[in-house]
Structure 1
Amino acid sequence: MLKVAYVTYDGPDPDRELVLADWARAGIDGRAVRWDDPAVRWERHDAAVVRSTWNYVHRRDEFVAWAYKVEGVTRLLNPAAMLDFNSDKSYLRGLGVPTVPTHWIRPGDPLELPDLAEYVVKPSVSAGARDTIRTADRAAAGEHVRRLVAGGRVAMVQPYLGMVEDEGETSLIYFGGALSHARRRNAMLAPDLPAGTHLGTLAREPGDDQLDLAARVLATLPETPLYARVDLVRLADGAPAVIELELVEPHLYLSDTPGAAGRLTAALLGLL
């Protein structure tokens, strides 16, 4: 029987028990283990699947070092180099596909902001909109940039795209390179949403142009990931653009999508 670690953290995860139950039905001995638990013997696992490691954001260097170490003794999915690459949003600069226009400010760079009606300012290493602001106040945007770079972080300055309040973001979820499902996600920075609804999703049928762009994104990767989430928005001219490629610890909305957990399990068995 395959022994597989479901790599997580010490906190809630809506998909954890669902996945472990599906693995058990497929004959996989799956166990939830914290990535930062020093007592885990990773070499005793046939594979380790990184899932809800949501506390790594302020410990990225430690997390990346952990990934390479674990990959030395067992199969890590997604691979360490992929986690290293994708855990800093600077990867967006080299994707070679349309992305949301971004102005990058590193420590030591001059603080020059583009002229925008509304700003989104966030660090390049972040998850779940942590340390992210939306503001129409140029001075407030500049001050947030100063705070980020003063802490040694890279700041990303982007235009706020109002279309996300109507159309939402489109997330396409792939397992083993095959599209599993797509979800419409509420804009996390949209105003006046009831508390607790920012991460709500609905099933969505992606457009052909969105599918084409997602395929181009995945084609840039050196190998097929176990899971990938491609988050898309539409620009002012209606063309799709990548807002994020999620390969580290994305929500996969398995509990909201019948059959999705089984497709993830099948992809895992195919890779193993």
Structure 2
Amino acid sequence: MTICAYATFADPDNNDNERDLALAAWREAGIEGRAERWEDPGVDWSGYDAVVVRSVWDYIDRREEFLAWARGVESVTRLLNPASILEANTDKTYLRDLGVPTVPTHWSSRDLPHWSEYVVKPAVSAGARDTVRTSDRQRARELAEALEAAGRTPMVQPYLDMVESEGETSLLYFNRRFSHAVRRNPMLAPGMSAADLPRASLRTPAPDQVELAEKVLAGITGPLLYARVDLVRLADGSPVVIELELTEPYLFLSYEPGAPASLAGALRELL
């Protein structure tokens, strides 16, 4: 039987509620899956037919260690997604190189644009960590300066009201095939908290959203077991990419009944 590792992290609060769904679907597809902590030095990764990167949600505090681990794993077995993709995708400066419309982003504390509201965050982050929304331009500049002083690249973006009305649309792909899409809760809306996330609802994406998502993925070389393309609309209605999640995205497997089996089927194909 094919044996694959499900790479996770020390998760005392059991936040990864997709693990059991995924592993059950793998078993149905003839793949034995075992959850392993990525940072566990006792794991023999060469004993697996493949290692699937999933809930490695603590990597942002130790990115270089994580990438070294990924390269090491890839030297002894198959890694999905590949280390080169993880390296590029764990620093959001990748947005500058996608070649498609993205959320307007200013990458410095200097010469900030004049926007009614700002979102300031570091280029290496996840789950809105260290992300601040403010209408004070001076405050936005100071936040960006603080990130630079800490050796981090700041991202300064306009807050888009469409996130609260239209919402973010996340399109999920397994082995580059569309699986499902969801409308995600706005993470920075008033009254929202971590307890509200990642709640969402199924959504049928519009043709222009599908076209943009597939154009993004067409520009990524190499195997992609999973990909999540997060889109928002600008005030003029045009869709833009807010994030491309290729490292450890929440896949909303419980929202679409066929999604776990689709993920397992994609894994079987890539093996």
Provide TM-score, normalisation by structure 2. 0.97
1:190-248 CA distance string (max 9 Å, x none): 11237722421000000000000001000101124000000000011100000000000
Aligned to 1:177: 176
Aligned to 2:213: 214
Q: Please state if 1:61 is matched with 2:60.
A: no
Q: Is the CA contact 2:168–2:231 (under 8 Å) kept in the aligned structure 1?
A: yes
- Taking only aligned residues, the RMSD between alpha carbons, in angstroms, comes to 1.1
Amino acid at match of 2:195: G
Deviation at 1:146, TM superposition (A): 1.7
Deviation at 1:167, TM superposition (A): 1.2
SS across alignment from 1:196: helix
1:67-120 CA distance string (max 9 Å, x none): 111000000000000000100000000100000000002xxxx63211110000
Of 33, 38, 52, the match for 2:55: 52
Which aligned segments of 4 or more residues in structure 1 are displaced greater than 3 angstroms?
A: none
Q: Please state if 1:96 is matched with 2:99.
A: yes
Structure 2: how far apart are the matches of 1:179 and 1:271?
16
Aligned to 1:266: 265
Amino acid at match of 1:25: E
Q: Count how many residue pairs are aligned between Structure 1 and Structure 2.
A: 268
Aligned to 1:168: 167
Aligned to 2:10: 10
Aligned to 1:133: 132
Aligned to 1:119: 118
Structure 2: how far apart are the matches of 1:190 and 1:198?
12
**Pair 1:66–1:195, CA change in 2 (3 A):** closer
SS across alignment from 2:130: coil
Larger RCO (CA under 8 A, 6+ residues apart) = 2
Q: Please state if 1:35 is matched with 2:34.
A: no
Provide TM-score, normalisation by structure 1. 0.96
Q: Is the CA contact 2:7–2:56 (under 8 Å) kept in the aligned structure 1?
A: yes
Q: Percent identity over the alignment? A: 60
- Give structure 2 stretches of 5+ with no counterpart: none
Superposed counterparts of 1:188-203, under 5 Å: 188-193=187-192, 196-203=195-202
1:7-63 CA distance string (max 9 Å, x none): 001112010011111112222111000110000000000000000000000111111
Q: Please state if 1:70 is matched with 2:73.
A: yes
Amino acid at match of 1:80: A
Q: Is the CA contact 2:134–2:140 (under 8 Å) kept in the aligned structure 1?
A: yes
Q: Is the CA contact 2:82–2:223 (under 8 Å) kept in the aligned structure 1?
A: no
